[in-house]
Amino acid sequence: MRPCNLTDGMISPDGVLGGNPLFYWIYGLAANVVPCWLAYVIAGGVIMLILINAVLLGAAIVSWGERRLLGRFQNRVGPNRWGPFGALQPIADLAKLITKEDIIPYGADRLAFTAVPVIMVSSLLLATAVIPFAKDVALVDLNVGVLFVLAVSSLTSIAIFTAGWASNNRYALFGAGRAVAVLISYEVPVVLSLLGVVIVAGSMSLGDIVVAQAVPFFLVQPLAFFVFLAGMSAELNRTPFDVAEAESEIIAGYHTEYSGIKFALIQAAEFGGALFVSGLIATLFLAGWAGPVADWLGWLWFLIKTFIGIFLFVWIRSTFPRLRLDQIMAVCWKFLMPLSFINLAAVVLEVYFLRDANGVLTTADLWIMAAINLVLAVVSITFFGNLIKEKVRSGSGGARSANPVTSGLPTTGTM
Amino acid sequence: MWFEQIVFWALAAVAIGGALGVVLVRDLFRAALLLATVFVAVGGFYVMMNAEFLAVVQILIYVGAIAVLFIFGIMLTRDVQRGNAPNRLQIPAGVISALLLAAMVFTAVTTDWTTLAGAGRENQAQIAQTQAVGIPDATELTRAGLSAEEVESVAGSGLADLLIGDFVLPFEAVSLLLLAAAIGGLALARGRGR
C-alpha cells in the first residue's frame, strides 16, 4: 500500500483541515491500518467529535457559570447543591429535561417544529468550525472566515421564525417576530464594525486576523468593539435587548411551546451561542491565542479571553434593565449605526494614509490608530449617546403602538 | 473523485427535490422553508466549484435575507394557510418558465467556462493546460505550475478586480437601482397623510 499523501487532490481538495496538526496526527495513525480515504474520513470525524463535544460541554459550563455569576451580582448564592460549587447542575438539568415528556402542541407543524432545535444547534456548531482555538488549531481556516460566521449565524433567524410559526402559539409568534426584527436590524451595525476589522487585518480569515493583531483590535478600534459587543448582546437576546423572550410579557417568546430534549437543545444553542460569540470577540478584538510566554500556551490565552467575553456579557445582563422594542430599534439605527459608520470611515482613512508602499501596517501605525480612534470613540459615543438619551426620555413613540411587530400580526388562520 | 461525486449527487437531489417541493407544496410557509433549503444546496455547489466567497455570500443574502423576507411576507398575510388557489395564468407561466429554462440551458452549454478574466489573465497559458478538467480547481492550478499566491489571486481577488474594475459601471448602476427600490419601498410603506 502506498503511503497516504495529504496534498493529494482527493484527500483534501483545497487545504481544508490541512493546517491542523492534530488532524495530521490522527490521519497518520489511522492510515497505518486502513486505506487512505477511510483514514481521511476517520480523522475528520474524530476532530468534529472533539469540537462538537467541546462546544456542547462548554455551553453546559457557561450555563452554570452564568447562573453562579448572576447569583453573585444579585447578592444571592446561585446553584450550589449538586457537585462542588454546584458545578454538576447542568448535568442534573439535562437529566431532568431528557426524562420529561416531549410535547408537540395540537395544530403544530410537526416537521418544522422538530427541525428547529436541530437547525439551531447545527448552525452554531458549523460556525465554531472556523474559530482558531490556538495557533493553527481551527477545524477549517477558511479565507472567508468572517463572512462564513455571519452567513451561518444568519440561519438562526430562519430557525427562530420557524419556531414561532410552527408552534401554533401567539406568544411564540410574537417572540419570533420580535427576535427576527432585532436580528436583522442589528446585523447591519455588526457587519459594518467587522468591516473595519477586516480592513485593518487585510484578510477575512480568522487565523490571519489573529496574526495581524500586533496591537489588539479592541484598542485599535474601540468603536467597533463597542458596536460589536452591543450588537451581539442583541443578537443573542441577552438582557438589555431580550424583548424576544421577555418573561413578563410573552412567557418565553419563540420557545414557549418547547419542552424536554428540544428545549434542552435550544438552551444549548443559546448558551453555546454566548460561548461562541465570546470566542469570536476574543479572536477578533482580543488577539485570540496570541499571548506572552509560548505559542503552545495559546489555548490558555484563548480560554482566558473567552472567559473575559462571557463575563462581560453576564455583567451587562445583570446591570441593565430591559429596553422596549422601539428603544432597541432606536439604539440600533440612531446610535450604533452612526458609530459603526464613523469607525469605518476613520479606519479607511487611517489605513489609506498610514500604510506603506506594500500596503502593510506596522505596529507603530497601529498604536497611532489606537490613539486617534480612542479619542474619536469617546467623543462620538458621548455625542450620539446624548442624542439618543433625549429621544428615549421624551418617550417618542413609546406609548402609542409604534411597534412594527406586535401591531401588524395576522389574527386569523388557525390561531 | 468518487467522494466529490457523492456530494454532488446528494446536493443535486436536495436542490431539485426542494425546488419541486416549493412549487408543489400547498403550505406556503413550508414552501418558503424548502426554498431556503434550495438556496443552501446551491451554496454547496459553489463550494464544490472552489468559489467559497460566492457560496458564503449566497447563504448570507439568499437564506439570511431573502428567505427571511419571504417568511415575513407570509406571516403578515391573512388567510395564508389556504395557500394559493390555481388560476388562469398557469399556462402562460408554464410557457415562460420553459422558455427561460431553454435559454439558460443553451447558455450553459455554449459558453466556454474555462476562460478566466481579470486577475487570472496573465496566467492564461497555464490555465489553458487545466482546461481538460473543466472548471479550474485549486489543486489543478497548483499542478499546472502556479504558485500558492497566484492560485489565491485567481480564486479570490479575481472577483473583486472584476467587480470594482472592469464592471464598475454596472455594479454602481445596480446599487443605484437598489437604493431607488429601497426609497420607493419606504415611500409606499409610509402611506399618505403622515
Q: How far apart are CA A98 and CA A145, in angstroms?
A: 35
Mutate to test the interface with B, among A111, A130, A141, A154 (most CBs of B within 10 A): A154
Model pLDDT for residues A263-302, shown as the tens digit of each residue: 888 888 888 888 999 999 998 888 878 777 777 777 888 8
Interface ipTM > 0.95: no
Segment B32-40 mean pLDDT: 90
Which chain B residue shows the shortest CA-CA distance from A8? B139
**Which CATH number does the domain B1-80 belong to among 3.50.50.60, 1.20.120.1200, 1.10.260.40, 2.40.50.100?**
1.20.120.1200
Residue B155's contacts (CB-CB under 8 Å, 6 or more residues apart) are: B50, B51, B138
Q: How far apart are CA A125 and CA A147, in angstroms?
A: 16
Provide φ and ψ at A98, rounded to 5°.
Answer: -70, -40
Model pLDDT for residues A84-112, shown as the tens digit of each residue: 888 888 888 888 888 888 888 887 888 88
Q: Tell me which of A368 and A15 has the higher pLDDT.
A: A368
Provide φ and ψ at A83, rounded to 5°.
Answer: 85, 175
Residue A189's contacts (CB-CB under 8 Å, 6 or more residues apart) are: A227, A231, A332, A336, A337, A339, A340
Q: Which of the listed ranges A20-29, A316-325, A400-409 does the model predict with the highest average pLDDT?
A: A316-325
A307: helix, coil or strand?
A: helix
pLDDT value at residue B134: 39
Cell of A330: 432606536
Model pLDDT for residues B53-71, shown as the tens digit of each residue: 888 888 888 888 888 888 8
Provide φ and ψ at A117, rounded to 5°.
Answer: -60, -35
Is A363 at the interface with chain B, CB within 8 A? no
Domain boundaries, chain B: 1-80, 112-194
Q: Nearest CA to CA, how far is B68 from chain A (Å)?
A: 6
Residues on chain B touching A410 (C-beta within 8 angstroms): 75-78, 80
Is A187 at the interface with chain B, CB within 8 A? yes
Q: Nearest CA to CA, how far is B96 from chain A (Å)?
A: 31
The position carrying cell 450604533 is: A336
- Residues A216 and A286 sit within 8 Å (Cβ to Cβ): yes
Is A130 at the interface with chain B, CB within 8 A? no
Output the pTM of the full model.
0.80
Q: How far apart are CA B39 and CA A31, in angstroms?
A: 36
Q: How far apart are CA B139 and CA A11, in angstroms?
A: 11
Of B3, B57, B139, the CB nearest to A37: B3
Please, what is the average pLDDT of chain B? 75
Which chain B residue shows the shortest CA-CA distance from A411? B78
A289: helix, coil or strand?
A: coil
Which chain A residue shows the shortest CA-CA distance from B56? A148
Burial (Cβ within 10 Å: 0-12, 13-18, ≥19) of residue A370: middle
Residue A130 above 80 pLDDT?
yes
B18 — pLDDT class (breaks 50, 70, 90): very high
Which chain B residue shows the shortest CA-CA distance from A148? B56
Residue A12 above 80 pLDDT?
no
pLDDT value at residue A169: 82
Are residues A154 and B1, on separate chains, in Cβ contact within 8 Å?
Answer: no
Q: Nearest CA to CA, how far is A291 from chain B (Å)?
A: 29
